Amino acid sequence: MLDTNAPPPQSPLRPPSEVMRLRRMGASFPTRLSFLRVLLRRLSAENAKVSRPVWAIDEDGFGHAVYSLTYGGHVYSLVAVSTDLPEDQRTDRVIATAWDTAYVLYDGLPDASEIDRIVASAPKQEAARFTARDLVLSRANKSVRLFAHTVERLKAGEQPDETLVRDTGYLMRTTAVYGNGKFGIADRVDFAQRDGMGGSFAAEMLAVWLIRGFTHDLVEHVGGAKLAPHLKRHLGIGNSTGLGMAPFLVSHPMLLNAWVSARETALARVRAVEGVSAEQIEKIYSLVVRAAQHLAEWQVPDAIGQVRIDRMRSEWPKVAVMMTPELMSSHQPLEQIWQAASDFSVDTQECLAALMIEPFGELVDELADGMATERRVTLNTAMSCADAHALITRDWSWAFCDYDAPDACHQFWYVSEAKAEPRLGLRHEEPGADLESPLDISRQVACMAKELPDTGTVAQFLARHPEHRAAMRRVQSLDGAPYAEIRDNLIADTCLPIDMLRCKLAFFGAAKFDPKSDRWTRITLCQGAPMHDELKDADDWWLPVFAS
């Protein structure tokens, strides 16, 4: 009898030695398993309706508004506060103390007193205090040029310049989206068991999508006219992200493993598909064209980033040429394409991987259910030292180098005392290495391996060398979680934090990465996504492109 619960066939997963290198992680693209995509599909399935019970915004665009929806049997509300920000206080840096707008995602429908509390507190952000009814805290600044231009055009009875809309892509950009107990807001555990809110960063993504809708409403209110639908659809929500996000992937290895495992399993299932239908072939062809347009529209000032984009542009026609009708109608066509793509750049390969997954929702969407995990890094003190050596030999060969060499210990991670945010220092040029954060995982494991005996137990070893407890825990936990560890030296001069940022942001659903250095980037979220009243069309906005 056929086992209907058996998982679909799949090709071998890509090895972590390939997937978990910084360069490839830094080439990540959003997929249909990205958290924003998953959230909007679920909102669509529930036929969620967004209402705006409060709009207390004056003619200049200052005041507050409330947006509400029912999702998973619970009501959630975004309280948006817009203030008059002096130009000399406008900055996207984390040290800012004032912003154009501030937001709270609230558990329920706030009454007048709660709205008053949030309106008073949200603009202060971390300088204020919040409650467990506040699920997410955020703030955003205007893209001054595009926002002012759009208002001016709308007041004149015209639409904003399409080139400016296309090239900017958002009216505002967030500088932080805080969750999980930050500054007194609710811990994730308080609501993670609710339907639809158990996914990674589900509450934060809901807040971002609602914020994006507020930016549309605000510019139309001040401009006194409606934006053209195709322009509004293209206006996402920008984001400025820096080093504060980078250590997350190191600090949450089991979560990283869950994310990457889901994506890699999706790719492996698609590669194993025996044959594709005419409808799927047509979809793949349309996505190839869309990706080409996306690449053509993606311009960045960063020289290194633009070189990578330019190479993708030159390689993408070769990807398209491979997909002949004969090949697409043959046995395992996607596996053939994937194997043929091995000569392309890492960036092109990762874009192709995301594209291949896209038309096969019925095959891969259920994998999103496993992308949040309660699994934790654990220590097995009963393990023999011989078995620990075997794990190190099998999984950690990449971690061994001469850590006394200046280039191998070039950088150190630390936490800024002033802002309690992660920072990166240059070990041989700047003070502070004595306050180093333990993100040097590869060095820790290499140092432990030198002192690990061949006999005895881990308990006996750690009793003599308790300083190696964290390293041993990482070694043991990687067994059975192959994608949990970034397989590069994170204190070497070759470590570019931007690669960690892009990996995480792609899982959020970000596109149009615009690196400003190797330590921070701007991105666009929700660009091309359905708006508050368009949730029926929630499943076809991979890689945003501008539609005239």
User: Tens digits of per-residue pLDDT, 49-64?
Assistant: 999 999 999 999 999 9
What does the pLDDT read at residue 2? 47
Is residue 215 situated within a structural domain? no
Average pLDDT over residues 174-199: 93
Does the pLDDT value for residue 201 go beyond 80?
Answer: yes
Task: Based on the fold, state whether residues 421 and 355 are members of the same structural domain.
Answer: no
Task: Based on the fold, state whether residues 391 and 309 are members of the same structural domain.
Answer: no
Average pLDDT over residues 70-95: 88
Average pLDDT over residues 3-20: 89
Average pLDDT over residues 14-20: 97
Long-range contacts made by residues 129-133, C-beta under 8 angstroms, separation at least 24?
A: 129/183, 129/184, 130/104, 130/183, 130/184, 130/185, 131/184, 131/185, 132/107, 132/184, 132/185, 132/186, 132/187, 132/190, 133/106, 133/107, 133/108, 133/186
Is residue 208 situated within a structural domain? no
Q: Could you give the C-alpha distances from 221 to 62, 211, 226, 443, in angstroms and in order?
A: 11, 15, 8, 55
Is residue 39 situated within a structural domain? no
| Residue finishing a domain among 448, 478, 508 | 478
Task: Based on the fold, state whether residues 294 and 341 are members of the same structural domain.
Answer: yes
Query: How much of the chain, in percent, has pLDDT values that exceed 90?
Result: 90
pLDDT band for 91, please (50, 70, 90 cuts). confident
Whole-angstrom distance, CA of residue 448 vs CA of residue 444: 6
- Is 439:487 a contact under the CB 8 Å cutoff? no
| Residue finishing a domain among 359, 394, 409 | 359
pLDDT tens digits, 367-426: 999 999 988 899 999 999 999 999 999 999 999 999 999 999 999 999 988 777 889 999
pLDDT tens digits, 234-281: 999 999 888 888 999 999 999 999 999 999 999 999 999 999 999 999
pLDDT band for 315, please (50, 70, 90 cuts). very high
Does the pLDDT value for residue 133 go beyond 70?
Answer: yes
Task: Based on the fold, state whether residues 391 and 474 are members of the same structural domain.
Answer: yes
Number of structural domains (the chain) is: 2
Is residue 508 situated within a structural domain? no
Is residue 57 situated within a structural domain? no
- Is 355:291 a contact under the CB 8 Å cutoff? yes
Task: Based on the fold, state whether residues 392 and 471 are members of the same structural domain.
Answer: yes
Query: How much of the chain, in percent, has pLDDT values that exceed 70?
Result: 98
Is residue 305 situated within a structural domain? yes
- Is 244:95 a contact under the CB 8 Å cutoff? no
Whole-angstrom distance, CA of residue 385 vs CA of residue 406: 31
pLDDT tens digits, 98-107: 999 999 999 9
Other beta carbons less than 10 A from residue 303's beta carbon: 8
pLDDT band for 95, please (50, 70, 90 cuts). low
Q: Could you give the C-alpha distances from 10 to 6, 266, 271, in angstroms and in order?
A: 12, 8, 7
What does the pLDDT read at residue 418? 75
Distance of CA 262 to the CA centre of its chain: 14
What does the pLDDT read at residue 89? 79
Task: Based on the fold, state whether residues 353 and 390 are members of the same structural domain.
Answer: no
Q: Is 383 left (phi over 0), alpha (psi -120 to 50) or beta?
A: beta
What does the pLDDT read at residue 421? 81
Task: Based on the fold, state whether residues 415 and 345 are members of the same structural domain.
Answer: no
Which residues span the domain enclosing 285? 274-359
* Average pLDDT of every residue of the chain: 95
Does the pLDDT value for residue 3 go beyond 60?
Answer: no
Average pLDDT over residues 477-492: 95
Is residue 227 situated within a structural domain? no
| Residue finishing a domain among 452, 478, 504 | 478
Query: Strand 170-178 and strand 236-241: pairing?
Result: parallel
Task: Based on the fold, state whether residues 353 and 429 are members of the same structural domain.
Answer: no
Task: Based on the fold, state whether residues 451 and 405 are members of the same structural domain.
Answer: yes
Is residue 459 situated within a structural domain? yes
What does the pLDDT read at residue 6? 81
Task: Based on the fold, state whether residues 402 and 354 are members of the same structural domain.
Answer: no
